[in-house]
């Protein structure tokens, strides 16, 4: 027995290490930390716990074709994305470089893949602009000679006329309009052809100004202004959505319900409804005072335009390059979510200049990403130290986090393109895990049952050795660690098959030796040495296949393939150890005991067939 | 058991199997490539309410995916393949009636761009060649002490190609009959089959190697026959145990790796057969220069 002590000690030590590592959910020894969220604390792959597997390719910013950037660019790309994903609260990502121009991002347990992809893939250009509000100017193309005539009209009279006309034509039964309506003052503007075009263009500008800026709900309406030389009041400011009627088409230009008017011959005429501006005045005096103020010859009124917003590039050009970093935070006193921005030296200087200019004005500082507005903010005071923060009434914690990340993204060193995505839902993942574990146990049980029935005592030993093998395999998975994936489980089960094969090879050889009439201990020794070459060569060929698979997976970023290859290779190596050391030791111990006196226990054949074989010899 | 003298039958059987496989491969479109080889997107979707394939098809057409492939995986669980999407929300949207996030669970979403798909095909080809060369060189070296060790490497590779072609042919057939697609997992399975096939072949060759030195007066035919007979029990038992494991996974495991397991099952069966009937007989035929 003494010669087995070393081997028994080795087997028990390994077994104790494996079992204790599996029973402890978390292991911490200095720098060495192991333990996951899965069964037995094993690390689970995305296909078993749910999550997204994204592969990005570096591309040329102009053509979109794949390119191979410099190593430093790829490293900094990886860092930028790591920072972004970590800061976004998207869980614990695993980000690694694949080959020389790809990036693999694994996001365990993620649900909102769209948001993740938007954050990761954004490579747009960050620009700063200054936005001046309500800029007054003359309407281009409208001069004294293009505005031919201005007259004051009562819109209610005009409308009533039309309604009467219409009802006679169509002879409908609609109720007659009430008489003696309160007068609504309007201006009839008559232009030359050029003036009419210029005014139509203005109308378009006014209409467009009502659309909110893309991606926001902010509007900056522009106005038509009318100033009379006779009036002491402020110019009339008339926004598009109320006020304009085109007598040519006989339609209200705006979306207001459109009563018709009978002015079809005046091709270049426009009617401006100015009534809201006079709503406070008493109705009888409205027309009178309005006519006295605005009813003069054209040269007594000035048409103008107030432009809602004018965006201009910042002199000297402040861009994403000038920024050092952006991060979400909370205001020290109000606890409101804010975005912190830190500029580098040149950025701080430019930012200082622009904030000095904008401070205490209604004008805004705008930050755009690829022409899309991210933030428009007023400047409270000049910021010259290069560290600013932005607050907003609509800011939530997630919004400021995303905005901070998008600000950072202006600095992604190379544009990237998503070329592969594999997303598995957590429900499917845990279902797969459960089913695979059940299948694994049943498969293992079937194999052990077969071995025991067919090889009897040897089969029992093989069963013990295979159970030890399974524990060691799981222990190594945890300690290395190997991430358990679906394909990895398949490989593990296949490797159990290989481990069984080693046992079968040995037992078949032993069986032959027993048939030649050798004693059990001798048969064990000869059986092992005969079987060894086959076990060695067949397993090495499997290892070669694993190596090829591993290389294949590495170039492809196919983590399922990689998991399979690693698991199978480990399984093969441990199966060799299990067959050579564990099975052999147990067999030898039992072979030397009382049980070893009975060869029958070790072979699947009856004494009769043994005798026949012996007779042949 | 006289494996060697019946070799003409084994060769004929294998040729027929290979021919059938090749015919199925040649009839267009051959293997049914999955998105890993063509680019595109797939979703596995579980509907909360009862939903038929036709209903899904008509809604997919309405939202601009008329040529999608829809297969039922389990009751109310469907596999849908579309052209390449940028996100699953391209198909699963609040605006839709059936494909609405309120009414479905998206179990998995995969998308592969055509760039990577082309690479996969190339790499798969290289991987199989590389595995074959590696194994060939190793066998040549491991059998350096027997006469003509080169032949053992070649015979193992012939058996390996034999298994690969039959399994690929089988999947071309399944693709036509049941719409089974091949993907990266299919390639892994194929490579595993290659590994197993060679593993099995080597065990028999090892027996031949041993018997050549034990019985120096025997002819190669006699030695081959003896070796196959001696390894027969082991070959069958090993195949059985691996088939047990695969069957357990097929019956109780999830649907995700089903195709993978079918490849393995077919591969183990064919691999066991080819080691005994093809690899060994190629050696004998080469030595005797006779097919019967």
Are A320 and A457 within one domain?
Answer: no
pLDDT of residue A241: 64
Are A450 and A549 within one domain?
Answer: yes
Q: In the structure, what pLDDT confidence band is assigned to residue A614 with cuts at 50, 70 and 90?
A: very low
Which residues from B are below 8 Å from A67, CB to CB? none
Q: Which member of B111, B131, B252 has the closest CB to residue A548? A: B131
CATH number at residue A580: 1.20.1640.10
Q: Is B286 on the interface with A (CB under 8 A)?
A: no
DSSP character for B82?
Answer: E
Q: Is B106 on the interface with A (CB under 8 A)?
A: yes
H helix intervals, A181-322: 193-208, 240-243, 283-294
A149, β-bridge pairs: A190
Which distant-in-sequence residues (6+ apart) come within 8 Å of B222 by Cβ?
A: B215
Residue A134: both structure tokens together: 């309500």
- pLDDT for residue A416 is more than 90: no
Q: Is B245 on the interface with A (CB under 8 A)?
A: yes
Q: Which residue has the tokens 């978390």?
A: A26
What is the arithmetic mean of pLDDT over A341-360? Answer: 86
The number of helices, as runs of H, and strands, as runs of E, in chain B is: 9, 4
Mean pLDDT is lowest, of A90-94, A582-586, B219-223, B263-267, for: A90-94
Residues B264, B244: contact at Cβ < 8 Å?
Answer: no
pLDDT of residue A87: 66
Q: Is A117 on the interface with B (CB under 8 A)?
A: yes
Q: Is B203 on the interface with A (CB under 8 A)?
A: yes
What is the arithmetic mean of pLDDT over A374-391? Answer: 85
Q: Which of A312, A331, A349 lies at the terminal end of a domain, its last residue?
A: A312
Are A117 and A194 within one domain?
Answer: no
% of chain A exceeding 70 in pLDDT: 76
Q: Which of B87, B241, B268, B275 to mutate to test the interface with A (most CBs of A within 10 A)?
A: B241
- pLDDT for residue A264 is more than 90: no
Side-by-side strand order, sheet with A323-330? A323-330, A337-343, A387-391
pLDDT of residue A174: 41
Are A445 and A497 within one domain?
Answer: yes
pLDDT of residue B15: 93
Please give the ipTM for the structure prediction: 0.83
Q: Is B180 on the interface with A (CB under 8 A)?
A: no
For residue A59, what are the domain limits? 51-123+415-423
- pLDDT for residue A231 is more than 50: yes
Which distant-in-sequence residues (6+ apart) come within 8 Å of A178 by Cβ?
A: none
What is the arithmetic mean of pLDDT over A67-80? Answer: 80
Q: To the nearest whole number, what is the mean pLDDT of chain A?
A: 76
pLDDT of residue A616: 39
Cα distances (angstroms) measured from residue A519 to each of A457, A511, B230: 15, 11, 20
Are A183 and A289 within one domain?
Answer: yes
Q: Which of A423, A450, A480 lies at the terminal end of a domain, its last residue?
A: A423
Are A168 and A274 within one domain?
Answer: yes
pLDDT of residue A255: 36
Q: In the structure, what pLDDT confidence band is assigned to residue B270 with cuts at 50, 70 and 90?
A: very high
Q: Could you state, in order of their start, the residue ranges of all structural domains in chain B?
A: 7-34+116-288, 40-112
Which residues from B are below 8 Å from A533, CB to CB? 206, 209-210
- pLDDT for residue B155 is more than 90: yes
What is the arithmetic mean of pLDDT over A160-173? Answer: 38
Are A144 and A247 within one domain?
Answer: yes
| CB-based contact B111 A420, cutoff 8 Å | yes
Query: Are the folds of B7-34+116-288 and B40-112 the same?
Result: no
Closest alpha carbon within chain B to A489? B249
Are A471 and A599 within one domain?
Answer: yes
Q: Is A439 on the interface with B (CB under 8 A)?
A: yes
Is A128 part of any domain?
no
Closest alpha carbon within chain B to A494? B242
| CB-based contact A545 B207, cutoff 8 Å | no
Q: Is A533 on the interface with B (CB under 8 A)?
A: yes
Cis peptide leading into A564, omega within 30 of 0? no
Residues B261, B249: contact at Cβ < 8 Å?
Answer: yes
Which residues from B are below 8 Å from A545, CB to CB? 131, 134-135, 191-192, 194-195, 198
Interface of A with B in 250-279 (CB under 8 A): none
Give the H/E segment covering residue A339: strand A337-343
Are A403 and A526 within one domain?
Answer: no
Of A609 and A87, the one with more pLDDT: A87
- pLDDT for residue B24 is more than 90: no
pTM of the full structure: 0.66
| CB-based contact A496 B245, cutoff 8 Å | yes
What is the arithmetic mean of pLDDT over A197-209? Answer: 82
Q: In the structure, what pLDDT confidence band is assigned to residue A245 with cuts at 50, 70 and 90?
A: low
Q: Is A68 on the interface with B (CB under 8 A)?
A: no
Interface of B with A in 204-233 (CB under 8 A): 205-207, 209-210, 230-231, 233
A599/chain B closest Cα distance in angstroms: 19
Q: What is the Cα–Cα distance from A607 to A605, expressed in whole angstroms?
A: 7
Which residues from A are below 8 Å from B194, CB to CB? 545
- For residue range B99-151, list pLDDT tens digits in order: 888 888 888 888 888 877 777 777 777 888 888 898 899 999 999 988 889 99
pLDDT of residue A570: 92
Of A610 and A326, the one with more pLDDT: A326
| Nearest by Cα to A477 from A388, A569, A402, A415 | A569
CATH number at residue A359: 3.30.1360.200
Q: Is B239 on the interface with A (CB under 8 A)?
A: no
Q: In the structure, what pLDDT confidence band is assigned to residue B273 with cuts at 50, 70 and 90?
A: very high
Is A222 part of any domain?
yes
Are A302 and A372 within one domain?
Answer: no
B253/chain A closest Cα distance in angstroms: 5
| CB-based contact B107 A427, cutoff 8 Å | yes
The number of C-beta contacts closer than 8 angstroms across A and B is 225
pLDDT of residue B153: 92
Of A103 and A552, the one with more pLDDT: A103
- For residue range A468-488, list pLDDT tens digits in order: 998 998 888 888 888 888 778
Are A220 and A338 within one domain?
Answer: no
- pLDDT for residue A411 is more than 70: no
Work out the widest C-alpha separation in chain B, in whole angstroms: 82
What is the arithmetic mean of pLDDT over B9-28? Answer: 88
Side-by-side strand order, sheet with A236-239? A236-239, A223-228, A301-313, A126-138, A364-369, A372-378
Closest alpha carbon within chain A to B137? A541
- pLDDT for residue A572 is more than 80: yes
| CB-based contact B254 A446, cutoff 8 Å | no
Q: Which of B112, B237, B259 to mutate to test the interface with A (most CBs of A within 10 A)?
A: B237
- pLDDT for residue A40 is more than 60: yes
Is A129 part of any domain?
no
- pLDDT for residue A165 is more than 60: no
| CB-based contact A450 B139, cutoff 8 Å | no
Are A384 and A484 within one domain?
Answer: no
Of A88 and B36, the one with more pLDDT: B36
Which residues from B are below 8 Å from A493, CB to CB? 245-246, 248-249
| Nearest by Cα to A568 from A489, A504, A466 | A489
- For residue range B67-106, list pLDDT tens digits in order: 888 888 778 888 888 888 888 888 888 888 888 888 888 8
Which distant-in-sequence residues (6+ apart) come within 8 Å of A32 by Cβ?
A: none
Q: What is the Cα–Cα distance from A295 to A309, expressed in whole angstroms?
A: 31
- pLDDT for residue A612 is more than 60: no
| Nearest by Cα to B112 from A428, A55, A123, A415 | A55
Q: Which member of A66, A421, A560 has the closest CB to residue B185? A: A560
- pLDDT for residue A579 is more than 60: yes
- pLDDT for residue B162 is more than 90: yes
Cis peptide leading into A382, omega within 30 of 0? no
| CB-based contact A427 B234, cutoff 8 Å | no
Q: Which of A351, A377, A408 lies at the terminal end of a domain, its last residue?
A: A408
Q: Is A314 on the interface with B (CB under 8 A)?
A: no
Q: Which of B106, B243, B249, B263 to mutate to test the interface with A (most CBs of A within 10 A)?
A: B249
Q: In the structure, what pLDDT confidence band is assigned to residue A175 with cuts at 50, 70 and 90?
A: very low
For helices A426-479 and A486-515, give the axis angle rounded to 10 degrees. Answer: 50
Any idea how long chain B is? 292
Residues B35, B111: contact at Cβ < 8 Å?
Answer: yes
Residues A433, A48: contact at Cβ < 8 Å?
Answer: yes
Which residues from A are below 8 Å from B185, CB to CB? 487, 560
Beta-sheet pairing, A126-138 with A147-154: unpaired
Q: What is the Cα–Cα distance from A269 to A316, expressed in whole angstroms?
A: 45
Q: By three-state DSSP, how is residue B4 classified?
A: coil
% of chain B exceeding 90 in pLDDT: 20
| CB-based contact A494 B86, cutoff 8 Å | no
Residues A585, A506: contact at Cβ < 8 Å?
Answer: no
- pLDDT for residue B194 is more than 70: yes
Task: For domain B7-34+116-288, give the fold.
Answer: Multidrug efflux transporter AcrB transmembrane fold (1.20.1640)
Q: What is the Cα–Cα distance from A83 to A103, expressed in whole angstroms?
A: 14
Tally the C-alpha atoms within 13 A of residue B231's C-alpha that lie toward its C-beta: 34
Closest alpha carbon within chain A to B238? A501
- pLDDT for residue B44 is more than 70: yes
B150/chain A closest Cα distance in angstroms: 16
Q: Structural domain tally of chain A?
A: 4
Closest alpha carbon within chain A to B205? A534
Q: Which member of B126, B134, B252 has the closest CB to residue A442? A: B252
DSSP character for B276?
Answer: I
Closest alpha carbon within chain B to A446? B244
- pLDDT for residue A293 is more than 90: no
A99: left (phi over 0), alpha (psi -120 to 50) or beta: left
Q: In the structure, what pLDDT confidence band is assigned to residue A609 with cuts at 50, 70 and 90?
A: very low
Task: For domain B40-112, give the fold.
Answer: Alpha-Beta Plaits (3.30.70)
């Amino acid at each position: 027995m003494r010669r087995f002590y070393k081997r028994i000690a080795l087997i028990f030590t390994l077994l104790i290490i494996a079992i204790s590592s599996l029973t402890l959910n978390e292991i911490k020894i200095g720098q060495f930390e192991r333990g996951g969220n899965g069964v037995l604390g094993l690390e689970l792959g995305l296909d078993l716990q749910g999550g997204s597997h994204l592969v990005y390719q570096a591309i040329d910013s102009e053509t979109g074709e794949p390119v191979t950037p410099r190593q430093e660019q790829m490293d900094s790309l990886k860092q930028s994305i790591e920072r972004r994903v970590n800061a976004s609260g998207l869980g614990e990502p695993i980000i690694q470089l694949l080959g020389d121009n790809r990036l693999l991002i694994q996001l365990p347990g993620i649900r909102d893949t769209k948001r993740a992809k938007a954050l990761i893939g954004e490579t747009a250009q960050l620009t700063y602009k200054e936005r001046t509000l309500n800029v007054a100017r003359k309407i281009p193309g409208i001069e004294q000679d293009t505005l031919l005539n201005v007259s004051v009209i009562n819109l209610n009279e005009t409308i009533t006329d039309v309604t009467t006309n219409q009802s006679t034509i169509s002879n409908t039964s609609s109720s007659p309009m009430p008489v003696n309506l309160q007068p609504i003052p309007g201006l009839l503007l008559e232009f030359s052809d050029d003036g009419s075009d210029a005014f139509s263009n203005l109308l378009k500008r006014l209409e467009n100004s009502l659309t909110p800026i893309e991606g926001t709900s902010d509007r900056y309406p522009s106005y038509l202004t009318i100033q009379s030389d006779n009036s002491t009041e402020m110019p009339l400011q008339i926004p598009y959505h109320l006020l304009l009627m085109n007598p040519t088409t006989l339609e209200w230009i705006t979306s207001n319900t459109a009563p018709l008017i009978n002015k079809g011959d005046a091709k270049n005429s426009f009617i401006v409804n100015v009534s809201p501006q006079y709503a406070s005045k008493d109705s009888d005096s409205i027309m009178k005072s309005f006519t006295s103020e605005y009813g003069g010859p054209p040269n007594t009124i000035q048409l103008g335009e107030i432009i809602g917003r004018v965006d201009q590039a910042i002199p000297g050009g402040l861009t994403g390059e000038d920024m050092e970093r952006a991060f979400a935070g909370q205001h020290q006193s109000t606890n409101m979510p804010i975005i912190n921005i830190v500029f580098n030296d040149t950025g701080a200087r430019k930012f200082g200049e622009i904030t000095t200019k904008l401070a205490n004005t209604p004008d805004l500082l705008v930050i755009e990403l690829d022409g899309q507005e991210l933030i428009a903010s007023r400047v409270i005071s000049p910021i010259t130290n290069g560290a600013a923060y932005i607050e907003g009434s609509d800011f939530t914690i997630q919004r400021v986090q995303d905005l901070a990340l998008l600000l950072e993204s202006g600095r992604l060193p190379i544009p990237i393109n998503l070329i592969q995505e594999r997303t598995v839902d957590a429900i499917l993942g845990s279902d797969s895990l459960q089913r695979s574990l059940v299948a694994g146990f049943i498969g293992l049980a079937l194999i052990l049952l077969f071995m025991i029935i067919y090889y009897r005592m040897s089969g029992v030993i093989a069963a013990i050795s295979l159970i030890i093998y399974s524990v060691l395999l799981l222990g190594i998975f945890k300690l290395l660690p190997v991430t358990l994936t679906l394909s990895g489980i398949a490989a593990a089960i296949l490797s159990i098959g290989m481990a069984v094969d080693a046992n079968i090879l040995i037992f078949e050889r032993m069986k032959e030796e027993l048939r030649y009439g050798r004693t059990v201990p001798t048969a064990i020794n000869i059986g092992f040495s005969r079987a060894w070459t086959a076990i060695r060569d067949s397993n090495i060929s499997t290892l070669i296949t694993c190596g090829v698979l591993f290389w294949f997976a590495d170039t492809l970023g196919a983590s399922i393939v990689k998991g399979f290859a690693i698991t199978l290779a480990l399984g093969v190596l441990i199966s060799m150890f299990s067959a050579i050391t564990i099975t052999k030791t147990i067999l030898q111990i039992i072979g030397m005991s009382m049980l070893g006196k009975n060869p029958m226990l070790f072979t699947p054949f009856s004494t009769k067939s043994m005798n026949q074989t012996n007779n042949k010899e | 058991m006289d494996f060697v003298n019946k070799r003409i039958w084994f060769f004929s059987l294998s040729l027929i199997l290979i021919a059938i496989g090749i015919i199925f491969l040649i009839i267009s479109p051959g293997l049914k490539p999955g998105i890993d080889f063509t680019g595109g997107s797939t979703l596995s979707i579980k509907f909360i309410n009862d939903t038929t394939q036709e209903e899904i098809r008509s809604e997919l057409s309405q939202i601009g995916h008329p040529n999608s492939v829809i297969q039922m995986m389990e009751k109310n669980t469907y596999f849908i393949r579309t052209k390449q999407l940028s996100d699953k929300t391209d198909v699963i949207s609040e605006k839709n009636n059936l494909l609405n996030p309120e009414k479905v669970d998206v179990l998995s979403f995969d998308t592969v761009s055509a760039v990577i798909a082309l690479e996969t095909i190339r790499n798969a080809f290289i991987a199989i060649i590389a595995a074959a060369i590696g194994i060939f060189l190793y066998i040549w070296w491991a059998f350096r002490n027997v006469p003509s060790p080169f032949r053992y490497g070649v015979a193992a590779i012939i058996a390996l190609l034999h298994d690969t072609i039959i399994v690929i042919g089988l999947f071309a057939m399944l693709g036509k009959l049941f719409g089974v697609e091949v993907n990266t997992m299919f390639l892994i399975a194929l490579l595993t089959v290659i590994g197993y096939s060679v593993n099995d072949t080597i065990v028999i060759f090892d027996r031949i190697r041993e018997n050549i030195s034990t019985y120096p007066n025997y002819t190669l035919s006699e030695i081959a026959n003896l070796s196959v007979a001696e390894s027969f029990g082991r070959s069958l038992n090993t195949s059985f145990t691996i088939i047990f494991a695969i069957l357990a996974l097929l019956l109780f495991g999830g649907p995700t790796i089903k195709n993978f397991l079918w490849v393995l099952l077919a591969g183990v069966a064919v691999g066991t057969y080819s080691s005994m009937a093809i690899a060994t007989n190629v050696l004998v035929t080469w030595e005797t220069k006779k097919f019967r």
